[in-house]
Chain A
């Protein structure tokens, strides 16, 4: 299973959600790391990932959030 990184810093919703979703929908990807710069993007990406049945781990990195989404 691949791990891929999606940089969504500075992007406003729904763009982070679209990018994260596209990455999650690629069959080869087992882990998607998404970096976002706002709490809105953090919450929206987390909510979408959970609704798709993925596990979500959130880490705060200074001004940014790194979300680790893993396929169940």
Chain B
């Protein structure tokens, strides 16, 4: 019961905070967007040169540090990692690529819907389809393998890097790029953005809020727990938008969005599938990074790489739509993800069969060995 109230509260407050960030200057329907904000940071550091989308978004820093503080306080900080790091990096990159076709991470998809952007309604079934496809692999044994304990510094790297970013954001040295026009120039004051990130980081760490897990658990186990969180988020953000006068239903001329339904659908499908394969949506990866999960940090670095690729090659979508090369990329990424998931699942099953064949003669099967030393 208590857990249930926690996730609904975390979702609802996140939705409200997202609207407050818009009031204070963030782009419309972009109180939070993990993909957009990581992309902005990538640009601020000069790893892409798309001038309108460069800023060190304090929300991202806050999310990691909030989760870090919360994990420390509740003795949940643990330096772990070492599970298929390169694959996770790539899955992170693919997640970002899909998100920059749609123009938003799944969190922003919800916020766009809550702001009346009906284009996001085409992305939602795509996201769910991607998650459903991922779930099929999970049910057949897909796994990236177990993570293990790592040196403390490995887990601290994410939070420490966030502190460095915060210093750079505050000092704003000349070699860092800050947009003077476009979405990157629209921002709430640093302290408010940081505070919002910290608050949501703490709540997301406690409640395990995840936009992918919400649909995945529903499809896998008919478990509404995480879903209740994002439902609350959507309702709170929609209410906030209506009260604040930001609710503007329609398809055309939506803020930082395009109206190409098919590509919104397929782009967000990539995010859903890659998120299942990587074990969390972009938001969840940031929270896990704060908890000392080096694998999640690698996934987040992958999103930085993905953002650089999309903007350096001019493949990221814009309000003008999706370029031809990016459409080819979408199809290619769908195929690539299916191949990766199939190969891993096939290999896991093969290994299991081999293990069972080895066990069979000795007879004892899967007997208990619960007392095994930890």
A14 with B80, Cβ < 8 A, contacts A9-B146, A21-B221 known: no
Q: Per-residue 0/1 for B77-119: is the Cβ within 8 Å of any A Cβ (1 yes, 0 no)?
A: 0101001000000000000000000000000000000000000
Among residues of B, the one whose C-beta sits closest to the C-beta of A47 is B225
Contact of B3 among A7, A43, A63 (CB under 8 A): A43
The reply to whether B208 and A18 contact each other, CB–CB distance below 8 Å, is no
Interface of B is mostly: loop
Count, chain A residues at interface, CB 8 A: 29
How many residues of chain B get a CB closer than 8 Å to chain A's CBs?
A: 32
Q: Is the CB of B80 within 8 A of A48?
A: no
Residue among B223, B279, B366, B370 making CB contact with A12, cutoff 8 Å: B279
Hey, what's the 0/1 contact readout for A49-62 against B, CB within 8 Å counting as 1? 00100000000011
Q: Does B368 contact A (CB under 8 A)?
A: yes
CA A20 to CA B139, docked complex, whole Å: 13
User: How far, in Å, is B228 (CB) from chain A's closest CB?
Assistant: 13
Q: How far is the CA of A3 from the CA of B146 in the complex (A)?
A: 23
Are B76 and A17 interface neighbours, CB within 8 A? no
Known contacts A21-B221, A62-B374: does B369 contact A13 (CB below 8 Å)? no
Closest to B76 in A: A39
Chain A CB within 8 A of B147 CB: yes
Chain A residues near B208: list those with CB within 8 A.
Answer: 40, 43
Contact indicator A4/B374 (Cβ below 8 Å) = no
Q: Does A70 contact B (CB under 8 A)?
A: no
Given A10-B146, A13-B279, A43-B3, A33:B370 Cβ within 8 A: yes
**Residue A15 contacts which of B78, B143, B149 (CB distance < 8 angstroms)?**
B143
Q: Hey, which chain B residues are within 8 Å of A33, CB to CB?
A: 368, 370
Is the Cβ of A10 less than 8 Å from the Cβ of B368? Answer: no
Residues on A with beta carbons closer than 8 Å to the beta carbon of B370: 5, 33, 35, 66
Which one, A18, A38, A43, A47, contacts B78 given CB within 8 A?
A38
A23-49 interface bits toward B, Cβ cutoff 8 Å, 1 = contact, 0 = none: 000000000010101111001000110
Question: Which chain A residues lie closer than 8 Å to B280 at the CB level?
Answer: 12
In the assembled complex, the CB of A19 is this many whole angstroms from the nearest CB of chain B, namely 10
Complexed CA–CA distance, A2 and B272 (Å): 38
Q: A residues touching B (Cβ–Cβ < 8 Å)?
A: 3-5, 7, 9-15, 17-18, 21, 33, 35, 37-40, 43, 47-48, 51, 61-64, 66
